[in-house]
Amino acid sequence: MSEINRIVIIGAGNVGTATLSAVVNSNIASEVVMVDINHQKAEGETTDLSDTTSFNYTPNVRVKSGTYEDCTHAQAIIITAGPSISNPNESRTALANKNSKVITSVMQSISKYTKDAVIVLVTNPLDVVTYIAHKSCSYPSNKIIGTGTLLDTARFRRILADKYALDPKNVHGYILGEHGSTAFVVWSLVNIAGMKIEDFDNVLGKNIVNEKESILDHTKKRGFEIVEKKGSTSFGVAGAAQRIVRAVLLDEKCILPVSTVLTGEYGLSDVALSVPCIIGKNGVEKILELPLTEEECEALNKSADYIKSILNNIE
Ligand code: NAD
């Protein structure tokens, strides 16, 4: 491993570019390299961002475009390569067909140069490609992490915090399962100031407990709302990818809901989905099996079944 903190970003599209900015401005990297099959785009984005490094309070990050060879001494590699759903009628399976090929090829290229770096996947369908990355080459499983429901959880915390006009950092809880339509809130563990929202409602004289269903619905629709308005989403997931990489580079041992391949946890195996994990320098250092209610266990199983059904239909 090199002594400098090198982060490689694969994919220079909307998400890759937002991730580049998030990572460069997070004060955790000495060098950030961007790789894309469209080398010119990667060069344009990195040169543009590099031009910000002479401003006050910006660390002197070396920002450049590169090749897969730059993965050799990377601590973390963020994969944002591959298209999004091209139109509202395109199925998850169609996107899975396209991006499973992209991810297999990217993983094979990366593993020629390293099996040490922690890989953070952003490409959709997220849980499907996280599993494909795991299957595509013998890369250590703990070092393959999908952003998963970390983004959905961040959206949920923002939405719930806004209901009480609070800082989302005071809202604790997780959205687990698939990064997609079957994601669910673990209401049994959601708390503000250590209190369930049923009790916290009394503190602020609110009645948010009756809005549980609409809060989940709003959280799930948030991405579509953004796409309708700006054509894609980027900053939210870039923040999630940056959060994971930071936890790895600083060996934070923090608990984040991320997509990982399960091997019997929660009674599930041979599938990747989001559950709370301890994240440190080795990637997923422990998968936490939290006590879920019967209803929440059912929701997790439903997510697993849905992801497996897409995996089974990949050509
Ligand atoms: P985009 O079309 O703007 O960019 C994709 C980039 O990938 C392009 O620059 C393309 O040249 C590059 N690329 C394609 N194949 C490649 C390969 N083999 N090697 C290197 N680069 C390659 O798309 P985007 O808006 O940046 O989205 C990227 C991915 O992120 C999509 O799959 C999208 O659905 C996903 N996404 C995920 C989340 C999440 O929460 N997980 C959120 C937003 C977007």
What tokens appear for 27 in the block? 């004060």
Q: Is the pLDDT of residue 87 over 80?
A: no
pLDDT at 89: 79
- Whole-number Å distance, alpha carbon 79 to ligand 1 midpoint, is 8
146 CA closest ligand 1 atom index:
41
Q: Is the pLDDT of residue 315 over 90?
A: no
pLDDT tier for residue 2 given thresholds of 50, 70 and 90: low
Q: pLDDT averaged over the chain?
A: 96
Q: Average pLDDT of 259-284?
A: 98
- Whole-number Å distance, alpha carbon 15 to ligand 1 midpoint, is 6
What tokens appear for 234 in the block? 């980027």
Give dist(CA 258, CA 154) in Å, integer. Answer: 12
Give dist(CA 228, CA 285) in Å, integer. Answer: 38
Q: Which residues are annotated as catalytic?
A: 179
* Partners of 189 in the β-ladder: none
Task: State if residue 188 touches ligand 1 by the CB under 6 angstroms criterion.
Answer: no
Give dist(CA 280, CA 178) in Å, integer. Answer: 23
Q: Which residues contact 47 (CB under 8 A, 6 or more apart)?
A: 65
232 CA closest ligand 1 atom index:
25
102 CA closest ligand 1 atom index:
18
Long-range contacts of 38-47 (CB under 8 A, 24+ apart): 38/12, 39/65, 41/12, 41/13, 42/12, 42/66, 45/12, 45/16, 45/17, 45/20, 46/20
pLDDT at 86: 75
Summarised one tens digit per residue, pLDDT across range 92-107 is: 889 999 999 999 999 9
Q: Is the pLDDT of residue 3 over 70?
A: no
Task: State if residue 151 touches ligand 1 by the CB under 6 angstroms criterion.
Answer: yes
C-alpha closest to that of 146 among 288, 279, 252: 279
Q: Average pLDDT of 160-187?
A: 98
Task: State if residue 12 touches ligand 1 by the CB under 6 angstroms criterion.
Answer: yes
Q: In 10 A of CB 130, how many CB atoms?
A: 32
- Whole-number Å distance, alpha carbon 126 to ligand 1 midpoint, is 11
Summarised one tens digit per residue, pLDDT across range 4-33 is: 899 999 999 999 999 999 999 999 999 999
Q: Is the pLDDT of residue 289 over 60?
A: yes
Task: State if residue 81 touches ligand 1 by the CB under 6 angstroms criterion.
Answer: yes
Task: State if residue 261 touches ligand 1 by the CB under 6 angstroms criterion.
Answer: no
The answer to whether the CB of 297 falls within 8 A of the CB of 121 is no
Percent helix / strand / coil, the chain, rounded to 5 = 50, 20, 30
Q: Is the pLDDT of residue 1 over 60?
A: no
Give dist(CA 157, CA 305) in Å, integer. Answer: 26
